Amino acid sequence: MKKILILTAVFSFFGCAGMQQLVNQLPQTNGLGKVDISGGLKEALNNGISKQVTKLTATDGFYKNEAVKILLPEELRKVDSRLRKIGLSSLADEGLMVLNRAAEDAVKEATPIFVDAVRNMSFADASGILMGNESSATTYLQNSTSTALYGKFNPVIKNSFDKVGADKVWTNIITKYNSIPFVSKVNPDLTDYVTNQAMNGVFKMIAVEEKNIRTDLSSRTSGLLKSVFALQDKKL
């Protein structure tokens, strides 16, 4: 009898809304048919990482993928154009290629950071992501990892520039360009630029996989993905 009175007092104090809020804070549980929303979103993001991001680490993963290929910053487009006009197209092409090679090298460092972010996703995060727009999971990952990714990518790209010969190529390119009479001298921070472009490419590829899972039933390759994203389908 005493226990019943205590439970009655608890319900009276919190009310229905308050109790629902407590239920919502329970890990790995969902009132909608006990579907493991958090697990499903984690699987979807892991698919994006394993299926799409790993493509970027291969040779030409950036350079021959038009969706993420790193183009020259605006400051250097005039350099590229002028070099081609004076018969140095091959040098201009090499300059563009080595930037993409450095990005391909850096992305190999991304997976552990993403794995930590996915592991730390809360049930509340997952519920909001599932009912969000077609890139909500990617946006979550972007917000959770960008600072760490930049810190990891930037020194790798610095080292990669040396490894793939980007430093020498771009020193040669900029020296030749700056020696042309009457041009405005350039001295871009290519390490920072390529770091940011590599990060953009990573998130673009994750977004591709997220959209596939959200819109293409055949991309839901497990029972968990099917059950979780069926909840999203009912929202549409």
Other beta carbons within 10 Å of 152: 18
Q: Is the dihedral of CA 222, 228, 232, 235 positive or negative?
A: positive
Beta carbons of 118 and 45 less than 8 angstroms apart: yes
Q: Are 149 and 113 in contact (CB under 8 A)?
A: yes
Residue 142's pLDDT is what? 92
pLDDT for 6 equals: 31
> For residues 13 and 11, what is the distance between their CA atoms, to the nearest angstrom?
5
| Encoded amino acid at 67, one letter | A
pLDDT values of the chain reduced to their tens digit, one per residue, 236 residues: 333 333 333 223 223 332 233 223 333 344 444 578 889 999 998 888 888 888 999 999 999 999 999 998 888 888 888 889 888 888 889 989 999 999 998 898 888 888 888 888 888 888 889 888 889 999 999 999 999 999 999 998 988 888 888 888 888 888 888 888 888 888 778 899 999 999 999 999 999 999 999 999 999 999 999 999 998 887 65
Q: Which pLDDT score is estimated for 123?
A: 83
pLDDT for 60 equals 94
Q: Which two tokens stand for residue 42?
A: 């984690």
Question: pTM value?
Answer: 0.77
